[in-house]
Structure 1
Amino acid sequence: MSRHSTATPSGRTPRIMFYSHDTFGLGHLRRSRALAAAITEADPTASALILTGSPVAGRFTFPRRVDHVRLPGVTKRADGSYAARTIGMGIEEVTELRSSLIRTAVEQYNPDVLIVDKEPTGFRGELLPSLEMLEQQGQAKLVLGLRDVLDEPEVLAAEWARKEAIAATERFYHEIWVYGLRSIYDPTSGLPLNAQTQARMHWTGYLRRDLGPIGEPPEQPYILITPGGGGDGKAMVNQVLSAYEKDPDLQPRAVLVYGPFLSGDLRAEFETRVAALGGRVTAVGFESQIETLFAGAAGVVCMGGYNTFCEVLSFDKRAVIVPRMVPRLEQWIRASRAEDLGLVRMLDETRDGLSADAMIQAIRALPHQPLPSQAMTSGLLNGLDYVTARISALLGGAQERAVG
């Protein structure tokens, strides 16, 4: 990644702001953090500020010249409605508070570029006052960043219509970045975006994970078991533990990372089962340096979230993906496309079942799978380079260079 310095039109050093609504899980924050790190590394004068609702933001380390502002958390109930995570406010009140905090942060930080993750209008429209203010001022460049897969086209179209997201995308955003390749999947295929907006879209490639300094891995060999944030990982973790319980000869041993959102009661139940396996499975709760575990693993069993998929590709690890099917088909779509391309193997709930036998077979076959690098196409992992080039272009810096 080339390094360059860019002065903004005002003559000050560049300020990049990220909005990451984070009602659940780690995906949005981790994606924003990876982008912020790449941008500030490419331009040593730039700084970045991430607005996030993640309750575990403080457990991450952030690079120099990257900081974050924690918004009051919200959580999704079983019936699909939202509530304040901790403070005693109704959802309308907490949304208004978040919106005011966002606007104040935008006003004070005065970003040159605002990169919004996934939600064009923010959680419950909380971003609209800030977008309108920035539009009126006419100084900042506004970017909407979308992961490679959002949901089934019909479901997404209905969701965006309900949130009036099409109108906001067409009105406010100078560019739309898709963190994937169009040849693999187009997340906007079901959205009625006008031709001018479609012309502002960029397919960046996937966001490579940092392969920098890696710590000392656990005793090898082992396979890494990761359900991402863990909040919806019960079925996958249960299937892996059942496989090791049923087959006493299953090798190699497994290192399980629960994730910070696995419920306490469920974790206690899993801990009892792990202890009974006599060291064939070991477990940790939350690993902010999961890159070290990826680097040392002989293979990976994981769910199909965007960040985990990027890690599988970046560390070139043989992987079995067990995608969730609800509340959206995003993970299944990503995993099935990746399997079709020979990048990973998928355990499909419908096709393969979630039995212990299916997992035993998958783990035993893992060493014989091709590496992802044997099936990778050109530009697949060029996302960070592409993004830093776009930032430079948006700031009016060095001539835009073709990437990937």
Structure 2
Amino acid sequence: MDTTIALYSHDSVGLGHSRRNRALAHALAEQLPALTGGSVGGLLIAGHPDAGRDPLPEGWDWLVLPGMTRTRGGYRARRLGLGGDALRDLRSATIDAALAVLEPDLFIADRHPFGIDGELRPVLANLRSRGTATVLGLREVLDTPRAAAAEWDGLGGAELVASYLDAVWVYGDAQVYDPRRTGELPPSLARKATLTGYLSNGRPAARPLSPARSSLAPTPPYVLTVLGGGSDGAEPARLAVSARLPAGHRHLLITGPQMPAQDIEEIRELAEIADRAAGTEGATTVQRSAPDVPELIAEAASVVCMGGYNTIAEVMATDTPALVVPRYRRRQEQPRRARALAAVGALETCDPETLTAADLTAWWNRSVTDRTDRSHIDLDGLGVVPRLAAELLPASVPAHPEVSRHVG
């Protein structure tokens, strides 16, 4: 049986949604053929032009939509001279037309069941009329229960959302954080939910490394600061380059591709000043991006990072000590994730409002001689999702014991 899968991410801010879907595409391409007896291919629908830079498995491709960005007044076009409603309609019609031709067997929407401003509602209705299985994929933390409830209400209520879905996959470990128990997933959605484990083990490499790219990695030992997309990472970056490095260590700071150029220039200047003052001139390297972040995390003596899902998933696949400086603006997702994982000994976290360069200096000196055991946390979601997908397809294999232990 040949299987076609489509995955959607809206990508108004950052690349976390499309990166998560890309990891799923690789896992499905590698594992689903053995479960279905046929080939597997598909389409990743994304909303940021940088999403398409990373390669996909054979038989898969990107559909990059015209971009949207969030403003105080709602969403607006990133580049096109269109109003929000017109751009929504253009994106919705583009997705619908592509999927009418593709006729996917399975559709997975990341985080936002109806997309931006409801752009997926007609798409989902048409998919279900054609018999496509539909799934909502969620990171394990949404927000405070009150904020999550308001968001479901804003979509017409959780029961309406559930009526468009066959399943909800939550990419986390119920022993660490369970949104069914916190109230972030109302009963109608919780009944359809399965916690898969974190999407950590088996994440795909990014762009193939050339000798020039691989040379970004400092000679160990080094400490690493990684700030996700970087749009809101300037302040932790300033603190990180101002901290004094552990003796004999270098420092690689990856700002993220969406950090404003003027912030990056300022951070490079601060790094040069701090290195000269410490007598370690040239010890700190500031890069906008790197193609091999998971490998850099694994090889680092310790890492300072923000609390986005994908960065944390990459950290969790290693034994590298991590200090998480979560983003508090807009959502409480990152601090809630950081506190939950700190409570089970997977990482350390701090309040970004009170963090100082001296605090980072002390933490680096303490952490670089240690390793962190994360073997007690379920990190195998990328091995579970293909089996859950197989169960939704017309010819599926019996549930594997690894799947059944995640249910409930």
**What's the TM-score, normalizing by structure 2?**
0.89
Give the C-alpha shift of residue 165 in structure 1: 5.2
TM-superposed CA distance for 1:193, in Å, is 3.0
1:388 paired to 2:386:
yes
The equivalent residue for 2:360 is 359
Q: Aligned partners of 1:38, 1:192: CA distance in 2, in Å?
A: 26
Match of 1:140 among 111, 132, 138: 132
* Correspondence list, 1:141-290, <5 A: 141-164=133-156, 166-188=158-180, 189-191=182-184, 193-195=186-188, 197-210=189-202, 216=214, 217-244=217-244, 252-276=249-273, 277=275, 278-290=281-293
Distance in 1 (CA, whole Å) between partners of 2:177 and 2:204 is 29
User: What does the per-residue CA deviation read over 1:237-282, in whole Å, with 9 as the maximum and x for residues that have no partner?
Assistant: 01101213xx7x6652211111110001111111222334321210
Letter in 2 for 1:335: A
Find out whether 1:52 has 2:46 as its counterpart: yes
The answer to whether the 8 Å contact 1:223/1:297 transfers is yes
The CA distance in 2 between the partners of 1:36 and 1:212, in whole Å, is 10
- Note closer, same or farther for the CA distance 1:192–1:232 as it changes in structure 2 (3 Å cut): closer
Letter in 2 for 1:56: D
- 3-state SS, counterpart of residue 225 of structure 1: strand
Q: Distance in 2 between matches of 1:324 and 1:372?
A: 25
RMSD: 2.0
For residues 242 and 158 of structure 2, the distance between their equivalents in structure 1, rounded to whole angstroms, comes to 45
Instruction: Quote the residue 1:4 is aligned against.
Output: none
- Equivalents in 1 of 2:350, 2:190: separation in Å? 34
Q: 2-side partners of 1:194 and 1:290: how far apart?
A: 38
- Single out whichever of 167-176 and 231-240 deviates more from structure 2: 167-176
| Identical positions, percent | 34
Matched, 1:345 2:345: no
Kindly tell me the number of residue pairs found equivalent between the two proteins.
382
1:3 corresponds to:
none
Residue 292 of structure 1: how far off its partner (Å): 2.7
Q: Is the 8 A contact 1:170 1:193 kept in 2?
A: no
| Equivalent pair of 2:320/2:371 in contact (CA under 8 Å) | no
Aligned to 1:315: 318
CA distance in structure 2 between the partners assigned to 1:58 and 1:174 by the alignment: 28
Match of 1:107 in 2: 100
- In 2: Cα distance, 1:69 partner to 1:201 partner: 28
C-alpha contact (below 8 Å) 2:179/2:185 kept by paired residues: no
* Residues 251, 361 of structure 1: alpha-carbon distance in 2 compared, 3 angstrom cutoff: farther
SS of residue paired to 1:62: coil
C-alpha distance in 2 between matches for 1:25 and 1:251: 34
Preserved CA contact (<8 Å) 1:151 1:187:
no
Aligned with 1:240: secondary structure? helix
Q: Given the two structures, how large is their TM-score scaled by the length of structure 1? A: 0.89
Q: Which runs of 5+ in 2 are unaligned?
A: 34-38, 276-280
Is the 8 Å Cα contact of residues 146 and 176 (structure 1) preserved in structure 2? Answer: yes
CA distance in 1, matches of 2:330, 2:179: 17
- Change in Cα spacing, 1:150 to 1:192, as seen in structure 2 (3 Å) is closer
CA contact (8 A) 2:225 2:252 kept: yes
Q: How far apart are residue 306 of structure 1 and its match? A: 0.4
